[in-house]
Structure 1
């Protein structure tokens, strides 16, 4: 019997508000890079507007009878093999794809994402080398407590510059630069430069 003045706690359940596909599409279309969801055979399941800009004109990547392909024909086999491997093993990968309209290749990040469809789906993100936001250094410094030098260096790595170019730009030795990149990887908790690029490419996703 409940005593007078006592407050009874009643457990209630609230059904979560369904996340509208229109809202999801609006968010994806605000991303500053292309996003394509494919299955293990590289069949295109979905693509945001930025990805469609590349696919529709065949700029580095294209829609080849419903399958994701590289503009440079022989690179398609490698791309599809990496997609299949990501779906099979659950491991991420990265690649550079050349383009006929630009000297700068596309950075392709391949991430297994079975939760999206319940099957062996793979999320493929497409970025232009050198197009990283100028805010990457600032946000990376805040998130991972980089030193100012580390933040600037990793921002340039995300932009697609190689070690020699960054060392020449900053007037330091390649060995010094490698030590700073290694220090940044430790702070982020990754072991490969491709993983570092993948993480840091995500710190400034929206326009």
Structure 2
């Protein structure tokens, strides 16, 4: 018999992600499991997860996350049991499980020998994986699988509800930026654009979307920086904003893209927003240049002082003399400034910070 309280909590979790751990705990009791997990997975890896029981350290291991992502059981679950839960013994032979590094290197050292799970494809293109683990009490039998399957359709519907809520929230966030004149887009962990305002779309061709809806940038260096920033945000490894410069075009100023990681309840298992990308045009400001540089490129006060002096016509030697430090120290600070602004030469840096057009690089 279905428990309506569990059903209600499943749908509530779609709108309030912290409840997923409670849902996992309640389903654990139904199937006599010792731990429960819920995560999304795509080509970029495991994006978000919720756990119950002594299994959180599994997701703290990069090697474990990669083994989970590549698990043959995920693919088999989609083809052999596309509409239900299945035990690991239903999807793999005992010899295959013994050779599975996820089991030998991670699950069994944690005391888990048996698993049951399901895979649900959600409209973002991600796969939602819910699984339960057990110690040495034997595999999950058909009665345990049946009890879990009683709730599977509600879990799948909750995924659709949360997906729609997430897209609506992404659109609202992007349009809110537009009301104050800021180009902005909400990006998922695979680099796909969930929502972008009109101002952001008008930045083409420097900002582009490919056939799969992934965000890319016109220059190779900037695109590599964007990819690294989004990958870090998707993995939860980005601790702060990343700033990425883009060269100016004729009659168009240089730009700086700020990749802001999405954190906490702002994200969840289904919604998949990994980062907010907002764009600032670079022009000689009316406000004090050093203070503006702090925000644009995440420069330290010393780095901003060096950059501002160079824009006003100074040299490494004059900055060193004015600040009472060695020329080697100033060159080290300048090197850091150029790394953060994506420039290779001092002339490029001055052109960028003065709002002039950067020369296009070949390759």
Q: TM-score range by the shorter chain?
A: 0.5 to 0.7
Contact kept? 1:130, 1:158, Cα under 8 Å: no
The within-5 A match list for 1:1-207 is 26-54=175-203, 57-58=204-205, 60-65=206-211, 66-73=213-220, 75-88=222-235, 89-92=237-240, 93-101=242-250, 104-114=253-263, 115-118=265-268, 119=272, 121-130=274-283, 134=286, 137=287, 151=288, 153-155=290-292, 162-168=307-313, 174=319
Higher helix content, 1 or 2: 2
Q: TM-score, normalised by structure 2?
A: 0.32
CA deviation after TM superposition for structure 1 residue 74, in Å: 5.3
CA distance in 2 between counterparts of 1:117 and 1:156 reads 29
Paired residues, what number? 142
Number of the residue aligned with 1:13: none
CA distance in 2 between counterparts of 1:49 and 1:79 reads 20
Task: Show structure 1 runs of 5+ residues with no match.
Answer: 1-19, 138-150, 180-191, 195-207
CA deviation after TM superposition for structure 1 residue 97, in Å: 2.1
Number of the residue aligned with 1:185: none
Task: Show structure 2 runs of 5+ residues with no match.
Answer: 1-167, 298-303, 326-335, 341-363
Contact kept? 1:130, 1:159, Cα under 8 Å: no
Q: TM-score, normalised by structure 1?
A: 0.52
> What is the aligned-residue RMSD (CA, Å)?
3.8
Of structures 1 and 2, the one with the larger relative CO (CA 8 A, separation 6+) is 1
Contact kept? 1:29, 1:49, Cα under 8 Å: yes
Deviations 1:49-90, CA, capped at 9 Å, x for gaps: 221211xx31x2111221110012453233112211123203
Deviations 1:93-137, CA, capped at 9 Å, x for gaps: 1111224446843211111114444235111111111176x4xx4
Which is greater in Rg? 2
CA distance in 2 between counterparts of 1:85 and 1:73 reads 18
CA deviation after TM superposition for structure 1 residue 47, in Å: 1.1
CA distance in 2 between counterparts of 1:177 and 1:163 reads 13
Number of the residue aligned with 1:3: none
Distance 1:129 1:178, change over 3 A: farther
Is the partner of 1:91 in helix, strand or coil?
A: coil
Distance 1:177 1:28, change over 3 A: farther
CA deviation after TM superposition for structure 1 residue 24, in Å: 5.3
